[in-house]
Amino acid sequence: MNLRAIRLILWALVGLAVIGGMAFVLLRQSSVSTAPAQVKVGAPFTLTDSDGSRFSSERLAGRPHAIFFGFTHCPDVCPTTLARLAKLRKELGRGEDAFDIVFVSVDPERDKPEEMARYAKLFSTPLIALSGSLAEIHSVKESFGIYSEKVPDKFGGYSVDHSAQVLLFNRDGSFAGTIAFDETNPVALQKLANISQS
Amino acid sequence: MRAFASLVVLTIVTACTPKAPQIEITDPVIIATPTGGAAYFTIHNEGGGDRLLSVETPSIGEASMHETTRDGSITRMRAVEAVDIPAGGDIVFERGGLHVMLMGSTGALQPGKPVQLTISFERSGNMTITAPIKAPDAPVEAM
């Protein structure tokens, strides 16, 4: 078994742990009304905003938010996911404060603040687009249970395999579950409505 | 007798010759990103089977067929060498699935400036279509 396979298995275990934890919380919430156990996803972080300034996760305190990890050279899943979040936020009809959309790069080598700014402009709605050093991104990915790996392409460049679920957080910062790429818009909208009303 | 033999041979040849493909490409669209984008379209085939060999956009830069696959929550994007077009079937290039990845110079793809795509098939030859360019927040019909 090579290193890549071991890494994949380890990330799969992290994913399973997150899913298991979520299932546990959901089950608890449905059967026990008092003090549901909280799954800890994520940790305080400081990254670089698309204007080059430092961005502390403290700025998300008291604000519902949806975090998506991707990269600007991603032509398919990333723009589709971010455009969907932007569209659903509009559909909620509660303005841009309904929830923050946070886009974190898993490709910090290519995604500097300028690239992140250009990419964020595609969505004609405010988007927090964060990058950082390799070490910073590694640490944030780890705390949020996000997998990513560079894969060479035939043009001498590379693509990045990555976790593509959207992570949802309530106003109090607690983890509120995920939106998978395949989930329908009505389901995703309900989840976003829930965090926006949290 | 000779006429009958010719008819038999003709019938056999006709029966053994694969039906010609009848390809039509509809709903082309390119979703632009700062570094390139992705092209999507639907291939309808009312005839015999064919094989999609390549897609080119000389005016933009590199183009290559890719497929996004999902393994749980992890998405992977891999190059696709060719796509079999089944007899009487459709192949859909769509968000989160088969797509043509475009790589050009920054800002090469601008909404409102359509781009020509040359799509090459093994049996049907080259077909050129014009795809409008849209921003990612164009309606997502697939979901």
Q: Which of A74, A163, A178 sits opposite B74 (nearest CB)?
A: A163
Distance from CA of A34 to the nearest CA of B (A): 31
DSSP-H helix ranges across chain B: 2-16
Query: pLDDT at position A177, please?
Result: 96
Which parts of chain A have pLDDT scores under 50? 28-36
Query: pLDDT at position B126, please?
Result: 97
- Taking CB atoms and an 8 Å cutoff, what residues of chain B touch A180? 73
Q: How far apart are CA B27 and CA B15, in angstroms?
A: 34
Q: How far apart are CA A101 and CA A105, in angstroms?
A: 13
The residue with tokens 């936020």 is A89
A95: left (phi over 0), alpha (psi -120 to 50) or beta: left
Q: How far apart are CA B67 and CA B100, in angstroms?
A: 8
Q: So what's the ipTM on this one?
A: 0.82
Q: Which residue has the higher pLDDT, A26 or B40?
A: B40
Nearest to A135 by CA among A14, A10, A48, A40: A48
Query: pLDDT at position A6, please?
Result: 73
B136/A contact by beta carbon, under 8 A: yes
Determine, for residues B137 and A75 on separate chains, whether the beta-carbon distance falls below 8 Å: no
Contacts for A96-99: CB closer than 8 Å, 24+ residues apart: A96/A125, A96/A126, A97/A63, A98/A64, A98/A192, A98/A196, A99/A63, A99/A64, A99/A65, A99/A66, A99/A192, A99/A195, A99/A196
Query: pLDDT at position A39, please?
Result: 76
Q: Write the CA distances from B12 to A142, B5, B19, B47, B48, integer angstroms.
A: 65, 11, 13, 19, 17
Determine, for residues B31 and A75 on separate chains, whether the beta-carbon distance falls below 8 Å: yes
Weakest-pLDDT range from A31-40, B108-117, B121-130: A31-40
Query: pLDDT at position A36, please?
Result: 46
B6/A contact by beta carbon, under 8 A: no
In this predicted structure, the answer to whether residue B141 has a pLDDT above a threshold of 70 is no
Query: pLDDT at position B143, please?
Result: 41
B96/A contact by beta carbon, under 8 A: yes
Pairing of the two strands A65-70 and A100-105: parallel
- Taking CB atoms and an 8 Å cutoff, what residues of chain A touch B70? 164, 181-182
pLDDT tens readout for residues B41-99: 999 999 999 999 999 997 888 899 999 999 889 999 999 999 999 999 999 999 999 99
Determine, for residues B31 and A79 on separate chains, whether the beta-carbon distance falls below 8 Å: yes
Query: pLDDT at position B13, please?
Result: 53
- Angle between helix A77-92 and A185-196 (nearest 10): 60
